[in-house]
C-alpha cells in the first residue's frame, strides 16, 4: 500500500482505506511541499509525525493518482487526500526543476528570477557582512568576467520591497477581472453525479472500459476548470501571506515568488521591472 493507505473491510468488502496512523504525516508532506517546493521540507514534516521515508518515495507520492482517490482510471476508488485540482498543482510543481541552495550556503529570496537589463544575463545573489550584520544583494554574473558593464549591486531588500508593493495590486486587479466570470459558472453538482453514476455502471459491468473512459474524460473536461494562478501566491502562505511571509525562510519566499513571477530585471541604475506570470 502507498504511504497513508491500508486495507480494510467496508460494507463487507475488502477495500483500500486511509491508514489513520499515517494520515497526519501524509497531509503534512503535501502541505510542506506545496508551501516550500522542497523535498527536504516534506521529509522533515513526515519525521515530525513519526514517519521515516525516502526522497524517492516522496517524489513518487506526487505522481500517484491514488492520493486524489483514483486508481487505474477509476475515479473515487478510495478516499482521497487531495482534490483533483490540488493534486495536479502539486504534480506540476514536482516535475519542475527548482533551485534549492545547499544547506551550508545562504538561500536567496529571488534566486533564478533576477536578470540584468543590460545584457540579459543572470544576476546572482551574494552576501556581505558589515558591522556584524549580513546584507544580501544581486550582481550581474557577466560583469565579473568583463562582458557586461553593469557593475552596480542591487540590494535584495530593495527588490523585495518593490515586489511586496506590487503583488497585492496585481492580484486585486486580477480578482476584479475574474469575479464576474466565476459568477457565471454553472452548477457542477449534476456533473459530479453523472461521474458517480458512470463509475457504478463500470463497476457493475454494464459498460465497457473503453466506453467508460471516453465518457469519463468528456465529463471531467466539463467539470475541471484550470487552476487560477491568482491563488498560487496565497496558497504558498495559507495563513495569510503578509503575516506568514515575514516569518518564512528564504526558500519558502523564493518558492512563493516563483509561483507568480516570470522574471525581475534590474538596470545599471537599479531600476526594477517585474514581469508577472500570466493568470489563467
For residue 185, what pLDDT is reported?
Answer: 47
For residue 115, what pLDDT is reported?
Answer: 94
Same domain, 114 and 144: yes
Same domain, 110 and 244: yes
Q: How many CB atoms lie within 10 A of CB 114?
A: 24
Q: Residue 49: which of 71, 68, 77, 24 has the closest Cα? A: 24
**pTM higher than 0.85 for the full model?**
no
Which of these three, 64, 97, 130, is where a domain ends?
A: 97
Same domain, 152 and 58: no
Express each pLDDT in 170-217 by its tens digit. Answer: 766 655 544 444 444 456 677 777 888 888 887 878 888 888 888 888
Same domain, 156 and 57: no
Report d(CA 255, CA 122) in Å as an integer.
18
Same domain, 233 and 216: no
Same domain, 219 and 255: no
For residue 159, what pLDDT is reported?
Answer: 94
Range of the domain at 36: 1-97
Which of these three, 54, 69, 97, is where a domain ends?
A: 97
For residue 26, what pLDDT is reported?
Answer: 95
For residue 74, what pLDDT is reported?
Answer: 86
Q: Are strands 123-130 and 272-276 parallel, antiparallel or unpaired?
A: unpaired
Express each pLDDT in 48-78 by its tens digit. Answer: 998 888 888 899 999 999 999 999 888 888 9
The gap from C-alpha 135 to its chain's centroid, in whole angstroms, comes to: 29
Which of these three, 78, 97, 116, is where a domain ends?
A: 97
- Edge to edge, what strands does the sheet with 272-276 contain? 114-116, 261-266, 272-276
Report d(CA 95, CA 118) in Å as an integer.
32
Same domain, 57 and 135: no
For residue 100, what pLDDT is reported?
Answer: 47
Task: Please write down the long-range contacts of 206-210, taking CB distance under 8 Å and 24 or more positions apart.
Answer: 209/73
Express each pLDDT in 217-271 by its tens digit. Answer: 887 877 665 444 445 555 555 555 666 677 777 887 888 788 778 899 999 899 9
Same domain, 168 and 192: no
Handedness of CA 89, 240, 237, 18 (dihedral sign): negative
Same domain, 216 and 110: no
Q: Please check the confidence at residue 23 and state whether its pLDDT lies above 90.
A: yes
For residue 178, what pLDDT is reported?
Answer: 44
**Location of C-alpha cell 528570477:** 113
Same domain, 26 and 83: yes
Same domain, 158 and 253: yes
Express each pLDDT in 122-153 by its tens digit. Answer: 999 988 887 778 889 999 989 878 889 998 99
Amino acid at each position: 500500500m502507498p504511504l497513508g493507505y491500508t486495507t480494510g473491510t467496508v460494507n463487507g468488502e475488502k477495500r483500500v482505506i486511509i491508514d489513520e496512523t499515517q494520515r497526519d504525516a501524509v497531509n503534512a508532506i503535501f502541505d510542506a511541499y506545496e508551501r516550500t517546493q522542497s523535498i527536504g521540507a516534506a521529509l522533515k514534516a513526515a519525521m515530525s509525525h513519526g514517519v521515516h521515508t525516502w526522497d524517492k518515495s516522496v517524489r513518487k507520492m506526487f505522481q500517484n493518482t491514488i492520493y486524489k482517490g483514483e486508481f487505474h482510471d477509476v475515479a473515487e476508488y478510495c478516499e482521497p487526500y487531495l482534490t483533483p485540482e490540488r493534486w495536479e498543482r502539486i504534480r506540476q510543481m514536482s516535475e519542475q526543476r527548482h533551485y534549492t541552495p545547499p544547506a551550508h550556503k545562504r538561500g536567496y529570496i529571488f534566486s533564478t528570477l533576477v536578470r540584468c537589463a543590460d545584457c540579459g544575463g543572470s544576476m546572482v545573489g551574494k552576501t556581505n557582512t558589515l558591522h556584524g550584520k549580513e546584507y544580501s544583494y544581486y550582481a550581474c554574473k557577466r560583469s565579473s568576467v568583463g562582458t557586461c558593464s553593469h557593475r552596480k549591486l542591487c540590494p535584495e531588500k530593495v527588490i523585495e520591497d518593490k515586489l511586496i508593493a506590487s503583488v497585492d495590486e496585481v492580484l486585486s486587479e486580477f480578482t476584479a477581472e475574474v469575479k464576474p466570470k466565476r459568477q457565471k459558472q454553472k452548477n457542477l453538482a449534476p456533473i459530479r453525479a453523472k461521474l458517480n453514476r458512470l463509475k457504478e455502471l463500470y463497476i457493475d459491468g454494464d459498460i465497457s472500459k473503453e466506453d467508460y473512459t471516453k465518457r469519463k474524460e468528456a465529463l471531467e473536461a466539463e467539470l475541471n476548470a484550470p487552476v487560477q494562478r491568482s491563488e498560487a501566491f496565497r496558497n504558498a502562505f495559507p495563513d495569510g501571506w503578509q503575516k506568514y511571509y515575514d516569518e518564512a525562510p528564504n526558500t519558502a519566499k523564493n518558492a512563493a515568488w516563483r509561483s507568480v513571477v516570470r522574471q525581475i530585471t534590474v538596470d545599471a541604475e537599479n531600476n526594477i521591472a517585474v514581469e508577472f506570470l500570466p493568470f489563467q
